[in-house]
């Protein structure tokens, strides 16, 4: 039975609202933020007032009572204009607040979610380490129980939303013990910011996503209350695998938005740029490039909507999430390259949105699981290897 990917009136209204916001509010401002490597606090505040950070969370915890499809629609529409803004929402919702909603106690939810849902505060997901990369289970960060406190030591890298003025929490994946076979027991512990012993490094100098916040974090005997353990001790590995499965769909939606934004910009440019006495859009070579770009964006959208529909239906979706992440990130990179080619020399100028899109696209094949990891996951789901 084919899946129906048509949007409900409520979802379509949300999509249109965010589409207008992205074009009317984000587009005119974000270029300056991007060039200055500056976090767009003004835009984030407006998105908070719109309820975008609280979309999938219950009203009793300050959310909007929506679903994960709503989040993905928001990410696609924001990324059609700018990926820095989109990844700020994605990391804040999928990686920062969602684990608290999924695994936290009622007291933890009531304590932390309202500010996260309102956009007044952000939470970051501290998983990746300098020595682990794609091997997410090879963590060296430790948390040792000392009476009524956890004492945390280690380093995290490439952590989004970890050093803004409104970052309240870091969700830290740490080794809290060893099993009988010597395997690490990984747990998730919530660390407020600031905390004594927590060092937040200066922002990275990045190729893209220059208006988003990404930093290295160091923990030197950071003490937090024992009650800041998120979920059961030793269940952190399962928690972040679940978090990443959902996050891959979100990244796929973001990648689709970037791919569609490349189509939007190329269509507009082809209609106005003239060469040899006529608009370049009259040339079949340009028409075919744009047609292929649109076809890729369409199939990417189908992939992530298939994955999210399975997730919302309570069906297995790990393979579909990996397929969506793999395919949509590839589409984003390809469309960004083609859009830059269509723009010619202007595509290499930062004043044109496609230059940002070209710089932003590559990380989508790396973050939240590389393309190689996605292929590994897909093959495992097929029983290969």
pLDDT tens digits for range 171-193: 999 999 998 888 899 999 999 99
Q: What is the pLDDT of residue 138?
A: 82
**Could you give the CA distance from residue 246 to residue 137 in angstroms, rounded to a whole number?**
18
Which of 216, 265, 294, 368 is flagged as catalytic? 368
Angle of the 236-272 helix axis to the 284-312 helix axis, nearest 10: 150
- Whether 35 is catalytic is no
DSSP letter, residue 94:
I
What size, in residues, is the chain? 385
The DSSP-derived string for 29-74 is HHHHHHHTT---HHHHHHHHHHTGGGTTS-GGGT-----HHHHHHH
Residues of the chain with pLDDT under 50: 1-2
List domains and CATH numbers for the chain.
9-121 (1.10.540.10), 124-233 (2.40.110.10), 238-381 (1.20.140.10)
Q: Is-cis flag, bond preceding 194, omega within 30?
A: yes
Report the distance separating Cα 170 and Cα 230, nearest Å. Answer: 12
Distance CA 133, CA 137 (A): 9
So what's the pLDDT on residue 375?
A: 97
| C-alpha 373: how far from chain center | 17
Residue 186 — φ and ψ, nearest 5°? -105, 135
Please give the pLDDT value at position 243.
Answer: 85
Residue 356's pLDDT is 96
Task: Give the per-residue pLDDT at 2.
Answer: 43
Buried (b) or exposed (e) across 324-338, using 16+ Cβ within 10 A? bbbbbbbbbbbbbbb
**What is the bridge-based pairing of β-strands 167-178 and 122-126?**
parallel
Please report the pLDDT score of residue 1 as a whole number.
37
Q: Cβ distance 155 to 219 under 8 Å?
A: yes
Q: Taking the mean position of all CA atoms in its chain, how far away is CA 129? A: 18
């Amino acid at each position: 039975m084919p899946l129906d990917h048509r949007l409900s009136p409520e979802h379509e209204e949300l999509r249109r609202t965010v589409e207008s916001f992205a074009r009317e509010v984000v587009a005119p401002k974000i270029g300056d933020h991007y060039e200055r490597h500056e976090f767009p606090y003004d835009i984030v505040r407006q998105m908070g007032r719109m309820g975008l950070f609280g979309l999938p969370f219950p009203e009793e915890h300050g959310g909007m009572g929506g679903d994960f499809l709503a989040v993905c629609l928001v990410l696609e529409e924001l990324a059609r204009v700018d990926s820095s803004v989109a990844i700020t929402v994605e990391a804040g919702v999928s990686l920062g607040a969602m684990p608290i909603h999924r695994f936290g106690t009622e007291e933890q939810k009531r304590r932390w979610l309202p500010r996260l849902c309102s956009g007044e505060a952000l939470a970051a997901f501290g998983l990746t380490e300098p020595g682990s990369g794609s091997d997410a289970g090879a963590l060296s960060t430790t948390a040792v129980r000392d009476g009524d406190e956890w004492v945390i030591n280690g380093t995290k890298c490439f952590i989004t939303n970890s050093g803004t003025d409104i970052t309240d929490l870091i969700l830290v994946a740490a080794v809290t013990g060893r099993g009988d076979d010597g395997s690490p027991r990984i747990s998730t512990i919530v660390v407020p910011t600031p905390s004594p012993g927590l060092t937040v490094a200066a922002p990275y100098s990045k190729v893209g996503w220059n208006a988003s916040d990404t930093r290295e974090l160091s923990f030197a005997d950071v003490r937090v209350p024992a009650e800041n353990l998120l979920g059961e001790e030793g269940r952190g590995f399962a928690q972040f695998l679940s978090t990443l499965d959902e996050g891959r769909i979100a990244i796929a939606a973001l990648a689709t938005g970037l791919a569609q934004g490349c189509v939007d910009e190329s269509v507009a440019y082809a209609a106005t740029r003239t060469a040899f006495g006529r608009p370049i859009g009259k040339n079949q070579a340009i028409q075919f490039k744009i047609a292929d770009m649109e076809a890729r964006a369409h199939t990417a959208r189908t992939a992530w909507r298939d994955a999210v529909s399975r997730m919302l239906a309570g069906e297995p979706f790990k393979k579909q999430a990996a397929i969506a992440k793999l395919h949509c990130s590839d589409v984003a990179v390809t469309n960004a390259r083609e859009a830059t080619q269509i723009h010619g020399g202007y595509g290499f100028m930062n004043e044109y949105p496609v230059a940002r899109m070209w710089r932003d696209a590559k990380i989508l094949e790396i973050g939240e699981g590389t393309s190689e990891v996605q292929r590994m996951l897909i093959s495992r789901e097929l029983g290969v290897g």
